[in-house]
C-alpha cells in the first residue's frame, strides 16, 4: 500500500510540474512495476497493454463518437438548437441565458463533449446575448455551465471511457445519464432565474417570437431529433418494427451516428473538402491524445493493483467498520478537491482504478457510481482554479476576465452540488431507467 501512495503522490507532483498526465501515469506506473517485479516484466506489461489497446474493438467507439460530434458542429445544428430555444424562451427575463442552457443540453446529446459544446455555443449564443445587453457574467456563466452537460447526456465520451475502464455496460451508462442530465438542465434554469432575480438588469427580456416563427424554428431541429433517436433508439432496440428488428452495439451505434451526422453536414453544405480534412484531422488528434491517456492510466492501474492499494483500502474499511456512506462521502470529497487542480478526464482515469473496486465491494451499483463520478467531474469543469470549460470560454471570449466567468458560474456549481446530493439520497434517479430496459 505504501508503494501505491508514493506512486499516487509522484503522479500529482509530476502533473504539478506540467508533465502531461498520460506520461506522468505511464512513467510512475512503469517504475512501480519495475520495483514490484523487474525491468523485463515491466517492459513486457507495457508492450502488452499498448498492443491490446490498439487491437481492442471496443475502443473504436471513442473516435466514432468524436467524429459524430465534429460532423454535427459542421452541420450548424448548434445554431438551430439555440434558435428554437430562443423562440420559446427569449422573451422572458434571462430568457436568452435559459435558451443557451437548453441548446447546450441538446447539442450535448449528440456531441458528447463538454469542451466542444462550450466552444461552439460561445460563438452562437454570446453575440446574441450581448446584442440584448446581457451582463458578461451571466452570459459566459450560462455557456460554461451548459457546456458541462456534454459529459453526462448520452452519448458521452466520458461515460464510454468509464465503461471501458470498469467493464460496465456502456448502454446502461448512457440510459442512466438521461434523468440526471435532465435534472442538470432544470437546475441550471433555476440558477439563471435566481441570477436575474438578484440582478434584474443582467438579463433583460428579448423579443417575443410569433407562433409562425416558433413553428418554423421547430422544423429546423428535425435533424437533431432524428440523429439522437437513431443512436439511442438503435442502442436500446427501440427501432424494432415487425418483421425487422434492429439493435446496435455501442460501436455500431457510434458508427451509425457518425454516418448520419456526416450526411446531415453534407446536405447542409457545411462540409467541403477543407472541412472534411479538418474534421478527420481533429478526430485523429483527439483520439490519439485520449488513447495516450488511457494507456498511461492502464499502466498506472496495473501498478496500483499489483501494489495492493484497492485490497488494502477494502481491508481498512472492513477492519475499522466504516459505514459505506462515510466511505462514499470521503471519496466524493477527494474528487471535489482534485477537481480544483485536475481536468475531468485526468481525474477520472487517475482515481477510478483505485476507488472502483472499493465502491463495488461495499455493494454500490457500478452504473450508479459512474453517474455520480461524472456529475462530480462536471462540477470540476467550472470550479476554480482549473475549471477547464471556463478556460475554453476565455479563449473564445478574450475580452472577458477569467474572474468574471468564475464569479458567474458560482450559482451553477452550487446547484450541481444539490443535484449530487439528490443522486446520493435517491439512487433510483440513475438506476430506474436501466432497470426498465
Collapsing DSSP to helix, strand or coil, 39 comes out as helix
Residue 35 in any domain: the answer is no
Residue 234 in any domain: the answer is yes
**Opening angle at CA 119, ends 118 and 122, nearest 5:** 80
DSSP string, 266-327: HHTT---HHHHHHHHHHHHHHHHHHHHHHHHHHHHHHHHHHHTHHHHHHHHHHHTT--HHHH
Give the pLDDT score at 14. 85
Residue 349 in any domain: the answer is yes
* Rounded Cα gap, residues 209 and 84, in angstroms: 10
Say if CB 357 and CB 30 are below 8 A apart: no
Give the pLDDT score at 238. 65
Query: Which residues touch 152 (CB under 8 Å, ≥6 apart)?
Result: 108, 158, 159, 177, 180, 181, 184, 371, 374, 375, 378
Give the pLDDT score at 368. 94
Residue from 97, 80, 102, 187 nearest 136 by CA: 97
Q: Which domain holds residue 304?
A: 60-436
Q: What is the count of structural domains for the chain?
A: 1
Say if CB 115 and CB 386 are below 8 A apart: no
Q: For each successive 10 residues of the chain (437 residues), what is the average pLDDT?
A: 79 82 86 86 85 77 81 75 80 85 78 71 81 86 84 80 85 88 91 88 79 76 76 71 68 83 80 83 83 83 79 75 86 80 74 86 91 87 76 77 86 90 92 84
Query: Which residues touch 78 (CB under 8 Å, ≥6 apart)?
Result: 72, 103, 107, 120, 121, 124
Residue from 148, 142, 155, 136 nearest 86 by CA: 142
Residue 47 in any domain: the answer is no
Residue 180 in any domain: the answer is yes
> What nine digits make up the cell of 339?
477537481
> What nine digits make up the cell of 111?
456531441
Residue 420 in any domain: the answer is yes
Give the pLDDT score at 240. 63
Collapsing DSSP to helix, strand or coil, 244 comes out as strand
* Rounded Cα gap, residues 166 and 260, in angstroms: 29
Residue 12 in any domain: the answer is no
Q: Cell numbers 501505491 label which residue? A: 4
Residue 46 in any domain: the answer is no
- Omega into 155 within 30° of 0, i.e. cis? yes
What are residue 244's phi and psi, to 5 degrees? -100, 130
Say if CB 374 and CB 151 are below 8 A apart: yes
Amino acid at each position: 500500500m505504501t508503494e501505491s501512495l508514493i506512486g499516487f503522490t509522484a503522479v500529482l507532483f509530476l502533473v504539478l510540474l506540467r508533465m502531461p498526465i498520460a506520461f506522468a501515469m505511464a512513467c510512475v506506473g512503469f517504475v512501480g512495476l519495475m520495483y514490484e517485479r523487474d525491468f523485463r516484466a515491466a517492459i513486457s506489461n507495457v508492450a502488452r497493454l499498448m498492443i491490446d489497446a490498439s487491437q481492442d474493438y471496443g475502443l473504436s467507439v471513442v473516435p466514432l463518437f468524436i467524429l459524430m460530434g465534429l460532423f454535427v458542429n459542421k452541420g450548424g445544428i448548434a445554431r438551430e438548437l439555440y434558435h428554437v430555444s430562443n423562440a420559446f424562451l427569449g422573451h422572458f427575463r434571462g430568457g436568452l441565458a435559459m435558451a443557451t442552457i437548453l441548446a447546450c443540453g441538446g447539442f450535448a446529446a449528440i456531441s458528447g463533449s463538454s469542451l466542444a459544446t462550450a466552444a461552439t455555443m460561445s460563438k452562437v449564443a454570446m453575440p446574441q446575448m450581448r446584442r440584448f445587453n446581457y451582463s458578461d457574467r451571466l452570459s459566459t456563466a450560462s455557456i460554461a455551465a451548459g457546456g458541462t452537460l456534454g459529459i453526462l447526456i448520452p452519448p458521452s465520451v466520458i461515460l464510454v471511457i468509464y465503461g471501458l475502464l470498469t467493464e460496465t455496460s456502456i448502454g446502461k451508462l448512457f440510459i442512466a445519464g438521461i434523468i440526471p442530465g435532465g435534472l442538470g438542465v432544470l437546475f441550471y434554469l433555476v440558477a439563471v432565474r435566481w441570477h436575474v432575480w438578484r440582478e434584474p438588469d443582467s438579463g433583460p427580456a428579448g423579443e417575443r417570437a410569433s407562433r409562425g416563427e416558433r413553428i418554423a424554428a421547430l422544423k429546423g431541429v428535425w435533424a437533431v431529433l432524428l440523429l439522437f433517436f437513431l443512436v439511442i433508439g438503435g442502442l436500446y432496440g427501440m427501432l424494432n418494427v415487425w418483421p425487422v428488428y434492429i439493435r446496435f452495439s455501442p460501436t455500431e451505434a457510434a458508427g451509425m451516428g457518425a454516418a448520419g451526422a456526416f450526411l446531415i453536414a453534407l446536405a447542409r453544405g457545411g462540409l467541403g473538402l477543407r472541412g472534411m480534412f479538418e474534421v478527420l484531422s481533429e478526430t485523429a488528434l483527439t483520439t490519439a491524445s485520449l488513447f495516450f491517456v488511457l494507456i498511461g492510466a492502464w499502466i498506472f492501474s496495473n501498478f496500483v493493483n499489483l501494489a495492493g492499494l484497492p485490497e488494502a483500502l477494502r481491508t481498512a474499511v472492513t477492519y475499522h467498520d466504516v459505514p459505506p456512506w462515510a466511505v462514499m462521502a470521503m471519496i466524493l470529497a477527494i474528487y471535489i478537491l482534485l477537481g480544483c487542480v485536475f481536468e475531468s478526464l485526468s481525474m477520472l482515469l487517475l482515481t477510478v482504478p483505485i476507488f472502483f473496486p472499493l465502491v463495488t465491494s461495499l455493494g454500490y451499483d457500478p452504473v450508479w457510481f459512474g453517474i455520480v463520478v461524472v456529475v462530480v467531474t462536471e462540477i470540476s469543469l467550472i470550479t476554480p482554479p482549473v475549471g477547464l470549460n471556463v478556460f475554453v470560454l476565455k479563449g473564445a471570449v478574450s475580452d472577458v476576465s477569467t474572474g468574471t466567468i468564475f464569479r458567474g458560474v458560482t450559482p451553477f456549481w452550487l446547484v450541481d452540488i444539490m443535484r449530487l446530493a439528490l443522486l446520493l439520497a435517491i439512487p433510483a434517479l440513475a438506476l430506474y431507467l436501466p432497470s426498465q430496459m
